[in-house]
Structure 1
Amino acid sequence: MTMANTLGSGRAIAALASLALLSGCGKPDTPPAAPAAKATDLITYAKGAPELDSIQTLVASSSPLPISDDMNARLGVDESETSRVGAPIAGRVTRLLADIGQAVRAGQPLAYLDAPDIGQARADLLKARADNDRKAREMDRSRLLYSGGAIARRDLEGAQADAAASSAELERARLRLGNLGAGSGDSLALTSTVSGYVVDRQINPGQQITAGQGPLFTVTDPKKLWLTVDVPETSVSRARVGEMIEFDVPAFPDRRFQGRITQIGLAVDPGTRRVQVRAEVSNPDLALKPEMYARARLVTDDGRRAIKVPNAALFEQGMQTYLFRVEAPGRFRRVPVKVGERGDSVSYVLEGIKDGDRIVGEGALLLNAQLAGD
């Protein structure tokens, strides 16, 4: 075989091997996703891009600029609209008529106790009534005898004193039985002094109750709450009765609530160097619950306003603070902003965006990383 023939055969074999290799390679199932289109401060995603699922957008809104940092606060029941029901005497629970969440009226029985002291109170009343009748008849007889000269004035005055004492004892026995809220027989009705909802119950059927034990029921109006705020002594001069206070709770991070200051403490806690400030809060949808923790800030509408944004929307780059503004669906622009006040969960932007702009909340850091090419 000549040298030329050998080289030609080698080329043919190489060509066949290459063809076999190409025929064994399958095409990819799906084409690779198109990368996001990026400019210096602009990033755009195609409709339906998976990255959009991790981006939360919201509408920026203006509000009065707070005059204090975030402060610890706690929600509680409105004590002026709350009744904590206890047992004035010992007894055993025979009937349970109210449960947690139930609406009740003032004076409505919540439970009945079988209380032997009720029987004793009834017996005391009957005895006092009988004694009062007897002493009243003796006084009438003494008055008649005195008018006829049969007894001395001293005897008449003694009968009058006995009648007055028996009348007082009758009134005491009547009030005692009435204060116990007695039902029929030896049963004692436990009642609330206010109308509202049962928010706590510490009583069960058949349970033995001791005198003074309580609270067995807590009844309140949960649509009215108190917010107790621990205000640093350095900031208490800014608090004013009648001014608004703004707060948020961990259960609803996207909601902002308000209350109105009704009382400012008169002393500083020596351990914490804080003053307790109380505000009344309206809770029409019952979203807020007593004993929830909150973060509050003093707010006064003195004309200074700013755009309130969640801290998740802000990020630092060098010495500048940025956020992303939504220009169109899937189109986000990084804009520099000036922050006035920073809180634990929200901050207040003075410049860079305006009221009504749509901005990115959660996902802002992801956008910035992709914009930088990470």
Structure 2
Amino acid sequence: MHRRISVRNLVALASGLLLVSLFTQCHSSENKAEKEEAEADSVTAPAPTEVFSLTKGKLASSLNIPGELIAYRDVDIYAKVSGFIKTLNADVGSEVREGQLLAQAEAPELSAQLASADSKLKAQEALSIASKANYERVLEASKFSGAVSKNDVDQALAKRNADLAQLEAAKSAYREVATLKNYLAIRAPFDGIISARNASTGAYIGPAGKGSEFPLFVLTEQKRLRLVVAVPEAYTGYVHAGSEVSFTVKTFPNRTFTGKIKRLSGALDKRLRSERVEVDVINNDKKLLPGMVAEVTLPLPTQSNTFIVPKAALVNSTTGVFVIRVKEGKSEWVPVKKGLEADNKIEIFGDLNEGDQLVTTASEEIRDGAPVNVK
């Protein structure tokens, strides 16, 4: 009897232990499920996102671009008529004034032609004076009835007019030869400096032949230069005549020079896709030399108000450039085009309105249409 009760007690004890174990396992499973659900909720909840209101403004930027200094005027001086150099009055480095005599040539044949033209002119002047006097006498005599026929008057008038025309032709021939002889005096067409000389005293010169292979002189205007810059197509809309430009050269690295934009070509170079822009540079001290390469700082001010955003607000994806607009608690990817950049800010152009809420630090992790928790 005592043994039978012990077995029952053992069975009851085992059953109790089993129930406790099952209850403990169920309670643990419920706690685990609740914990996993809480963790899932914490993952799906969007993190606070900082936004800003879109506003318009003006952005001033600059473009660093190489340029080249060239002479404002630079000409090759050739002889117009054939001859021999008699004297040279300028050499390389000579500063000359407009009209100054650079070289004097001589041509004996021109002197002979001028003397011949002068004698023909004097002879024709004498004939013209005689025919004029004869016409006046015949005309006076014709006033008396029957003294001179009308035909004689007409012939005298024709002779006077013919001799007068011959006189004008002789004067023209004389002026032509005299002008050619004047070309033997080679003068400077403008103020400048002689940068090259390719002839010596006694050398043959002329528009054709050995003396014309190289120019006699190269005259360069040095006190005023042109700074030539090729502005890329993307920036041509920001460049305007009258804007001041600064630049440096390697020869004077610690000195900054300035000039104003004077000329824009108005067309793009077909190969470089750039516009030629010229800046006038005053160079009275002649420190700058034609041919120098300059590092140019070109101002690029915007002329009207545009949308300005931080660079971090842009998303550069494989499909384009976007900003993320927050609308009704959800993100909206808006495609934009970029403009000028300066001080970590950038111009943007797109389907946007002033006052739109944009994400300050945008990234591809904020998907289009995803909920946004605005900070």
TM-score normalized with structure 1 length:
0.55
Q: Does 1:166 align with 2:161?
A: no
More helix by share: 2
Write the letter of the residue equivalent to 1:118. L
Write the letter of the residue equivalent to 1:222. Q
How far apart are residue 240 of structure 1 and its match? 1.3
Write the letter of the residue equivalent to 2:71. V
Aligned to 1:197: 193
Q: Does 1:89 align with 2:78?
A: no
Q: 1:59-208 maps to which residues of 2 (within 5 A)?
A: 67-70=62-65, 72-79=66-73, 84-147=76-139, 148-149=141-142, 151-174=152-175, 176-178=177-179, 180-181=181-182, 188-208=184-204
Aligned to 1:251: 251
Aligned to 2:282: 282
User: Residue 162 and residue 279 in structure 1: after superposition, are their counterparts in 2 closer, same or farther (change >3 A)?
Assistant: farther
Q: What SS is found at the alignment partner of 1:235?
A: helix
Q: What SS is found at the alignment partner of 1:200?
A: strand
- Contact 1:66–1:297 (8 Å) recurs in 2: no
Q: What SS is found at the alignment partner of 1:137?
A: helix
How far apart are residue 145 of structure 1 and its match? 4.5
Measured in 2, the distance between the counterparts of 1:121 and 1:234 equals 63
Mark the runs of 5 or more structure 1 residues left unpaired by the alignment.
1-63, 183-187, 304-340, 343-347, 351-374
Identity of aligned residues (%): 25
Mark the runs of 5 or more structure 2 residues left unpaired by the alignment.
1-58, 143-147, 304-339, 345-375
Q: Tell me the number of residue pairs that the alignment of Structure 1 and Structure 2 aligns.
A: 238
Q: What SS is found at the alignment partner of 2:218?
A: strand
User: Residue 227 and residue 168 in structure 1: after superposition, are their counterparts in 2 closer, same or farther (change >3 A)?
Assistant: farther
Quick check: which has more Rg, 1 or 2? 2
What do you get for the CA RMSD once the two structures are aligned? 3.2
Measured in 2, the distance between the counterparts of 1:164 and 1:300 equals 67
Q: 1:353-372 maps to which residues of 2 (within 5 A)?
A: none
Measured in 2, the distance between the counterparts of 1:165 and 1:266 equals 54
Write the letter of the residue equivalent to 2:198. Q
User: Residue 180 and residue 66 in structure 1: after superposition, are their counterparts in 2 closer, same or farther (change >3 A)?
Assistant: farther
How far apart are residue 170 of structure 1 and its match? 0.9
Deviations 1:20-46 (A, max 9, x none): xxxxxxxxxxxxxxxxxxxxxxxxxxx
- Contact 2:135–2:156 (8 Å) recurs in 1: no
TM-score normalized with structure 2 length:
0.55
User: Residue 302 and residue 131 in structure 1: after superposition, are their counterparts in 2 closer, same or farther (change >3 A)?
Assistant: farther
Q: What SS is found at the alignment partner of 2:250?
A: coil
